[in-house]
Amino acid sequence: MTFSPGSIAFNLNGAPVTADASPTQRLSSLLREELMVRGTKVGCDAGDCGACTVLLDGEPVCACLVPAIRVAGRDVQTVEGLANGALSALQAAFLDHGAAQCGICTPGFLVAATALLERNPKPSRAQVRDGLGGVLCRCTGYRKIEDAVMSVAHGLPASPTNIAPASGKAIGARVPRLDGMPKVDGRESFGADGFPADALAVAVIRSPYHHATFELGDVDGFRSANPGIVAIFTASDIPGRNLFGTIPQFVDQPALAQSETRFRGEAVAIIAGERAAIIDLDLSAFPVTWHEKPSALDPVQAEASGAPLVHADRKNNLLIAGFVEHGDADAAIAGSAHVATATIETSYVEHAYIEPEAGWAAMDGDTLVIHACTQAPFMDRDDLAPVLGLAPEKVRIVPTATGGGFGSKLDLSVQPLIGLVALKTGRAASLAYTRSESMMSTTKRHPAKMRASIGCDADGRVTGMVFDGAFNTGAYSSFGPTVANRVPVHASGPYLVPHYRATARAVHTNGPNSGAFRGFGVPQCTIIQEALYDDLADRIGIDRLDFRIRNALRDGDRTVTGQKLESGVGITACLEALTPHWVRANSDAIAFNATDGHLRRGVGIASCWYGCGNTSVANPSTIKIGISPDGRVMLHQGAVDIGQGSNTVIAQIAADSLGLPLDTIELVSADTSITPDAGKTSASRQTYITGKAAEKSARSLREQILRVANVSGDAILDIQGSQLVLREGSASRMLELSSLPADADGYVFGAQESYDPPTEPLDAKGQGKPYAVYGYGAQIAELEVDMKLGTIRLVKITAAHDVGRAINPLLVEGQIEGGIAQGIGLALMEEYIPGRTENLHDYLIPTIGDVPPIESILVEVADPEGPAGAKGLGEHVLIPTAPAILNAIRHATGIDIRKVPATPSRVLTAIKEART
Amino acid sequence: MVRYAKPQSLDEALALLSAGTWTILAGGTDFYPAQGNRPIRENILDINDLAQLRGIAITDTHFVIGAGTSWTEVARAELPPAFTALKQASAEVGSVQIQNTATLAGNLCNASPAADGVPALLILDAEVELRSIGQTRVVPLQDFVLGNRKTAREPNELVTAIRIPKASASGSSSFYKLGARRYLVISIAMTAVRIELDQGGSIADVAIAVGACSATAQRLRGLESTLRGLPAQDNFDDHVQPEHFDTLTPIDDVRGSADYRREAAREIVLRALKEAVALQLDPLSRLANGVAA
Question: pLDDT tens across B37-47, in order?
Answer: 999 999 999 99
The reply to whether residue A905 touches residue B36, judged by beta carbons under 8 angstroms, is: no
Are residues A694 and A711 located together in one domain of the fold? Answer: yes
**pLDDT, tens digit, 9 for 90 and up, residues A572-586:** 999 999 999 999 999
User: Are A719 and A633 in the same domain?
Assistant: yes
B37 lies in some domain:
no
pLDDT of residue B292: 38
Same domain, yes or no: A648 and A607: no
**Residue A317 resides in a domain:** no
Asked if residue B261 belongs to a domain, the reply is: yes
Residues 6+ apart with CB under 8 A from A332: A455, A463, A464, A498, A499
Q: What mean pLDDT is predicted for residues A749-762?
A: 97
- The confidence band for A84, taking pLDDT boundaries of 50, 70 and 90, is confident
Tell me the shortest Cα–Cα distance from B6 to chain A, in angstroms. 8
Which residue in A2, A850, A905 is closest to B181 by CB distance? A850
What is the mean predicted confidence (pLDDT) over A884-892? 98
Residue B144 falls within a domain, yes or no? no
Q: What is the pLDDT of residue A163?
A: 83
Into how many domains does chain B fold?
A: 1
Q: In this structure, are A139 and A20 located in the same domain? A: no
pLDDT digits (tens, 9 = 90+) for A761-779: 999 999 999 999 999 999 9
3-state secondary structure of A171: coil
| pLDDT tier, A159 (very low <50, low <70, confident <90, very high otherwise) | low
Q: Kindly state whether residue A254 falls inside one of the protein's structural domains.
A: yes
Q: What is the mean pLDDT of residues B57-77?
A: 98
Cβ-proximal residues to A13 (8 Å cutoff; 6+ apart), any chain: A76, A77, A78, A80, A81
What is the torsional sign of CA A241, A244, A247, A250? Answer: negative
Q: At what angle do helices A646-658 and A691-709 cross, to 10 degrees?
A: 30
Report the pLDDT value the prediction gives residue A160, as an integer from 0 to 100: 72
Domain-embedded: residue A450: no
* Segment 525-544 of chain A within 8 Å of chain B by CB: none
- C-alpha A206/C-alpha A189 separation (Å) is 28
Q: Are residues A625 and A774 in the same domain?
A: no
Residue B288 has pLDDT above 60, yes or no: no
Q: Please report the pLDDT score of residue A2 as a whole number.
A: 57
Q: Is position B189 within any domain? A: yes
Q: Inter-chain contact A846–B186, Cβ cutoff 8 Å?
A: no
Select from B186, B174, B81 the least CA-distant residue to B119. Answer: B174
Here the CATH number for the domain that contains residue B271 is 3.30.390.50
In chain A, the number of structural domains is: 5
Of residues A126, A134, A789, nearest to B96 (C-beta): A134
Q: How confident is the model at residue B1 (pLDDT cuts 50, 70, 90)?
A: confident
Amino acid at residue number A352: A
- Per-residue DSSP letter, A158: P
CA-nearest of B241, B223, B226, B235 to B271 is B235
Q: Do B97 and A284 touch (CB under 8 A)?
A: no
Residues A99 and A241 in one domain: no
> How far apart, in whole angstroms, are the C-alpha atoms of residue A911 and residue A2?
58
Of A755, A789, A805, the residue at which a domain comes to its end is: A755
Residue B287 has pLDDT above 50, yes or no: no
Q: How many Cα neighbours within 13 Å face the side chain of B239?
A: 19
Question: Contact A842/B181, CB-based, under 8 Å?
Answer: no
ipTM over 0.90: yes
**Average pLDDT over every residue of A247-261:** 97
Mutation target among A149, A844, A905, A915 for the B interface, most CBs of B within 10 A: A905
**pLDDT tens column, A321-341:** 999 999 999 999 999 999 999
Residue A829: its chain B contacts at CB < 8 A?
A: 180-181
Question: Do residue B181 and residue A844 have CB atoms under 8 angstroms apart?
Answer: yes
pLDDT tens string A375-405: 999 999 999 999 999 999 999 999 999 999 9
Report pLDDT for B65: 98
* Structural domain boundaries, residue B205: 172-283
Beta bridge partners of residue A451, listed in sequence order: A343, A468
> What are the Cα distances from residue A838, in Å, to A46, A279, A356, B38, B185?
12, 21, 13, 16, 15
At B107-130, the pLDDT tens digits run 999 999 999 999 999 999 999 999
Above 80 in pLDDT, residue A319? yes
Say if B237 falls within a structural domain: yes
Domain boundary among A432, A465, A481: A432
What is the reported pLDDT for B290? Answer: 42
- Closest approach of A134 to chain B, Cα-based (Å): 5
Give yes or no: residues A690 and A777 share one domain.
Answer: no
Q: What are phi and psi of B168, to 5 degrees?
A: -95, -5
Chain A, window 776-805: residues with a beta carbon less than 8 angstroms from a chain B beta carbon: 788-791
Amino acid at A540: I
Query: Cβ–Cβ of A23/B263 closer than 8 Å?
Result: no
Residue A182 within any structural domain of the chain? no
CA B168/CA B161 separation, integer angstroms: 17
* Cβ contact, residue pair B27, A65, below 8 Å: yes
Q: Report CA-CA distances (Å) from A834 to A101, A293, A349, A513, B259.
A: 29, 16, 11, 11, 24
Same domain, A737 and A666: yes
A647 and A695 share one domain:
yes
Contact across the interface for A904 and B260, Cβ inside 8 Å: yes
Q: Look at residue B84 and tell me if it is in a domain.
A: no
Give A-chain residues touching B32 at CB under 8 angstroms. 26, 45-47, 64-65
Q: Which residues pair with A775 in a beta bridge?
A: A610
Over the stretch A611-631, which tens digit does the pLDDT of each residue have? 999 999 999 999 999 999 999
What pLDDT score does A102 carry?
A: 98
User: What residues of chain A lie within 8 A of the CB of B72, using their CB?
Assistant: 59
Asked if the peptide bond before residue A901 counts as cis, ω within 30 degrees of 0, the response is yes
Q: Averaged over A297-312, what is the pLDDT?
A: 96
Q: A103: closest CA among A91, A115, A112?
A: A91
Among the three residues A114, A134, A161, which one is the final residue of a domain in this structure?
A161
Predicted confidence (pLDDT) at residue A158 exceeds the cutoff of 70: no
CB contact burial A761-796 (16+ within 10 A = b; e otherwise): ebeeebbbbbbbbbbbbbbbbbbbbbbbbbbbebbb
Please check whether residue B181 lies inside any domain of the structure: yes
Same domain assignment for residues A703 and A798: no
What is the pLDDT at residue A157? Answer: 72
Name the percent of chain A lying above pLDDT 90. Answer: 97
CA distance A419 to A361: 6
Q: Cβ contact (<8 Å) for A60 and B254?
A: no
**Which residue on chain B is closest to A68 by alpha carbon?**
B28
Contacts of B92 in chain A (CB under 8 A): none
Same domain flag for A776 and A748:
no
The DSSP 8-state label assigned to residue A852 in this structure reads -
pLDDT for residue A162 is more than 90 = no
In a domain, A31, yes or no: yes
Mean pLDDT (chain A, rounded)? 97
Contact A829 B180 (CB under 8 A): yes
- Asked if A56 and A66 count as a contact pair (C-beta separation under 8 A), the reply is yes
CB B24 within 8 A of CB B155: no
Q: Cβ distance A889 to A785 under 8 Å?
A: yes
Count CB atoms within 10 A of the CB of residue A580.
10
- Closest Cα in chain A to B183: A133
| A515-549 pLDDT, tens digit each | 999 999 999 999 999 999 999 999 999 999 999 99
Angle between helices A881-893 and A571-593 (to 10 degrees): 30
As a whole number of Å, the CA-based R_g of chain A is 27
Tally of CB atoms within 10 A around A530? 26
Which residues on neighbouring strands pair with residue A610, listed in sequence order? A775
- The answer to whether the CB of B1 falls within 8 A of the CB of B20 is no
Residues A94 and A127 in one domain: yes
Q: What is the pLDDT of residues A821-878, one digit of tens each?
A: 999 999 999 999 999 999 999 999 999 999 999 999 999 999 999 999 999 999 999 9
Q: DSSP labels for A790-826?
A: --EEEEEEEEEEE-SS-S-HHHHHHHHHHHHHHHHHH
Helix-strand-coil percent breakdown of chain A, rounded to 5? 30, 25, 45
**Which residues constitute the domain of residue A145?**
89-161
Q: Does the pLDDT value for residue B293 go beyond 60?
A: no
